[in-house]
Structures are given as structure tokens and as C-alpha cells.
């Protein structure tokens, strides 16, 4: 029984959906919600399209712009939604955003110990490891060990600050601009910014 | 009851079940108000369909990692910030 009008024992190619027990359960719930008039198929598709249109590239563009434009950086740090909109990234919605800046003194890391709160309206869906019990439990208690596993060792003497997104705020990190990038364009800089550096498990690497 | 930036607080260990957002690992711990984030609907109400209940002030609260974990292995000035609703906080 599915939205495709026949019983299932096979995945549908191209739908990106597999027939795991969880997926089947979600689809059953989806069907019920539609049947009961809580949601429409169109609303579900709109939401999927919305999420699919978000990606870490948005965060990379915001970071690169902030590195090259001090006034933009101030706006990004103080009014993230409107700064994002300047670059065509629509992060409007009920949750608030805070961008925290890495500095030579403080390296920031984000986690949601309760579930999977993540700056989705900017970066899209979180990676699976971000939602794993292991990351959620270890990031708050041993953030340095977690970062080492991402091949990042914060410099000696730097403060590591973990942000646990427990409520209505979604956090994103503004990484530090690496040395040796002085002559680079905004587009070239954006290429350097990885998703993991926007979460804070690593820092944008030095350009060799 | 409201808290000023920089004020020292303790997270109350409310014996409250169900959908709560104050993580267990900060309950009973001392921290410091970073700033007020604003007024938000309380997830403890929203999770049970109570959409009309009053909003609660939400604060960013900073903790020293060494105050949270006895065996914390990082630097002594490592910190952690959690967003906590006001009814979970008391002066310390």
C-alpha cells in the first residue's frame, strides 16, 4: 500500500526512496496525514523541493562574502536572515539563526544533543553523522577528540566553545579565513569552505 | 524573574518528564547568562498541542566545560553554550 497505487516489495528507481522499514513507516504516516487532510501531497512535495534547494554551498557563499566585506560580516553576525537574503538565500521561517565567528581565540562547534537541529534553511539536510547518537553525545563532552577524528586539532591555547542547539535558534559557524588567500576572489574563497567547517568539526584549511 | 547579561545562574533540576529541552547534563550546574534571545513558545507545551500557552523568555547560557564534566580533557577555558528557557533557571 503506497502512494504509487500498488503493494511494495521493491524500491522505485529515481524516487530516491528505499523500502527500509523506517521509510515504509514514514510513507504510511504520510499517506494517513494526507487522507486525514492534515497535509496535502503538494505541501509535502513543496517541502522536499525546499530542502533539496538548500546546500552547504549557501553557507560557503555567506562565509566568503563575510571574509571580503566587513560590513556584510557585521550584518551576517547580527541579522543572519536578512544578510542571507542579500545573497538570495531565503532562510525565513519560524526558527532564528545565529552565526558565530571563529577567531584566533575561540573555535566554535555546533551540535544538537536532543535530535538534529541544524541550519537547514541555509545548509539543507544535516549529514548522517551529525544526527548520530555518537556525535550528539560526544560533541558536548569531548569536542576536541571529535575534531581530531575530522583531522582537525585546534591550536594550543584556543578556547573550544560548543553550541548545543536545544531550542529555537539554529547555529552556523563563520570559519576563519585561511592565510595565503589574500588575492582570491569571493568565488574562489567560497570553494574553500566545506560543510564540516560550517558545523565547526574542522576549520577551513590553509592554502598551500 | 529575569536575568541580566553576565549574571550567574544555576540550572534547576526540575523533575519534569515528557518533551523537555533543558539537557540533563546541565541540570544543577552553574553557568552565566550570555544574553536574552527573546520570547518563544514553550516546547513543553507545544509538544502536547498547547499552542495558546504563554511564551517563555529564552536565554543563551554559558558553562565552563570543567564545571560540566569531572573528567573533561580539553583546556580549562573550554566552554559550552546552551539555550535554556527561563523557568529552568535560578540565581546562583
In a domain, A12, yes or no: no
Give the lowest-confidence range in A3-12, A46-55, A192-201: A3-12
CA A203 – CA A104 distance, rounded (Å): 11
> Are A33 and A101 in the same domain?
no
With a CB cutoff of 8 Å and minimum separation 6, the contacts of B60 are A169, B33, B34, B35, B37, B81, B82, B83
- Whether A102 is in a domain gets the answer yes
Tell me how many domains chain A contains.
2
Q: Which of residues 22-51 of B touch A (CB under 8 A)?
A: 22-23, 25, 37-38, 40, 43
Helical packing angle, A41-52 and A21-35, nearest 10°: 130
A136 shares a domain with A67: yes
Active site residue A117: yes
A33 and A63 part of one domain: no
Mark whether A62 and A25 lie in a shared domain. Answer: no
Same domain, A30 and A84: no
Q: Which of these, A195, A95, A55, A199, lies nearest to A139 by C-alpha position?
A: A199
- CATH 1.20.120.1630 for domain B8-91, yes or no, is no
Determine, for residues B74 and A160 on separate chains, whether the beta-carbon distance falls below 8 Å: yes
In a domain, A161, yes or no: yes
Position A40 in a domain:
yes
Residues A45 and A96 in one domain: no
Asked whether residue A13 carries a pLDDT value surpassing 80, the answer given is: no
Q: How confident is residue A9, by pLDDT bands cut at 50, 70 and 90?
A: low
For the stretch B11-45, pLDDT in tens is 999 988 888 999 999 999 999 999 999 999 999 99
A10 inside domain: no
Domain range for A139: 56-199
End of a domain among A52, A70, A93?
A52
ipTM of predicted complex: 0.96
* CATH number of the structural domain spanning residue A192: 3.90.330.10
Distance CA B43, CA B59 (A): 14
Q: Is residue A121 part of a domain?
A: yes
In tens, the pLDDT along B69-81 reads 999 988 999 999 9
Whether A168 and A74 map to the same domain: the answer is: yes
CA dist B9 to A7, A185, B2, B30, Å?
57, 46, 11, 6
Environment class of B22 (CB within 10 Å of its CB; exposed 0-12, middle 13-18, buried 19+)? buried
Give the max Cα distance, chain B.
Answer: 44
Chain A partners within 8 Å of B84 (Cβ)? 166-167
In this prediction, residue A93 has a pLDDT band, given cuts at 50, 70 and 90, of: confident
A115 in a structural domain: yes
CA B6/CA B35 separation, integer angstroms = 8
Residues A171 and A116 in one domain: yes
A66 and A31 in a single domain? The answer is: no
CB B68 within 8 A of CB B80: yes
Q: How far apart are CA A201 and CA A128, in angstroms?
A: 14
Q: Which cell goes with A3?
A: 502512494
User: What is the pairing mode between strands B56-64 and B79-85?
Assistant: antiparallel
A68 belongs to a structural domain: yes
Catalytic-role residue among A53, A115, A132, A185: A115
Amino acid at each position: 500500500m503506497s502512494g504509487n497505487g500498488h503493494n511494495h516489495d521493491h524500491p522505485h528507481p529515481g524516487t530516491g526512496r528505499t523500502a527500509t522499514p523506517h521509510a515504509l513507516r514514514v510513507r504510511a504516516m504520510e499517506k494517513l496525514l494526507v487522507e486525514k487532510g492534515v497535509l496535502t501531497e503538494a505541501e509535502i512535495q513543496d517541502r522536499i523541493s525546499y530542502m533539496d534547494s538548500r546546500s552547504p554551498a549557501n553557507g560557503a557563499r555567506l562565509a566568503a562574502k563575510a571574509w571580503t566585506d566587513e560590513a556584510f560580516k557585521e550584518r551576517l553576525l547580527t541579522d543572519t536572515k536578512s544578510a542571507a537574503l542579500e545573497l538570495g538565500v531565503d532562510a525565513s521561517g519560524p526558527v532564528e539563526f545565529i552565526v558565530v565567528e571563529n577567531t584566533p581565540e575561540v573555535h566554535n562547534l555546533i551540535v544538537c544533543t536532543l535530535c538534529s537541529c541544524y541550519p537547514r534553511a541555509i545548509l539543507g539536510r544535516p549529514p548522517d553523522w551529525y544526527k548520530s547518537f555518537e556525535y550528539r553525545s560526544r560533541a558536548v563532552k569531548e569536542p576536541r577528540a571529535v575534531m581530531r577524528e575530522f583531522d582537525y586539532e585546534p591550536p594550543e591555547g584556543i578556547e573550544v566553545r560548543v553550541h548545543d542547539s536545544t531550542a529555537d535558534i539554529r547555529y552556523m559557524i563563520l570559519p576563519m579565513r585561511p592565510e595565503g588567500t589574500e588575492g582570491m576572489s569571493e568565488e574562489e574563497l567560497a570553494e574553500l569552505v566545506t560543510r564540516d567547517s560550517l558545523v565547526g568539526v574542522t576549520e577551513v584549511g590553509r592554502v598551500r | 524573574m529575569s536575568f541580566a547579561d553576565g549574571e550567574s545562574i544555576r540550572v534547576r533540576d526540575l523533575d519534569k518528564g515528557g518533551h523537555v529541552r533543558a539537557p540533563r547534563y546541565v541540570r544543577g550546574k552553574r553557568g552565566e547568562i550570555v544574553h536574552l534571545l527573546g520570547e518563544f513558545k514553550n516546547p513543553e507545551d507545544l509538544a502536547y498541542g498547547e499552542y495558546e500557552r504563554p511564551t517563555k523568555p529564552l536565554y543563551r547560557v554559558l558553562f565552563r566545560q570543567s564545571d560540566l564534566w569531572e573528567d573533561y580533557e580539553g583546556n580549562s577555558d573550554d566552554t559550552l553554550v546552551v539555550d535554556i528557557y527561563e523557568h529552568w533557571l535560578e540565581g546562583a
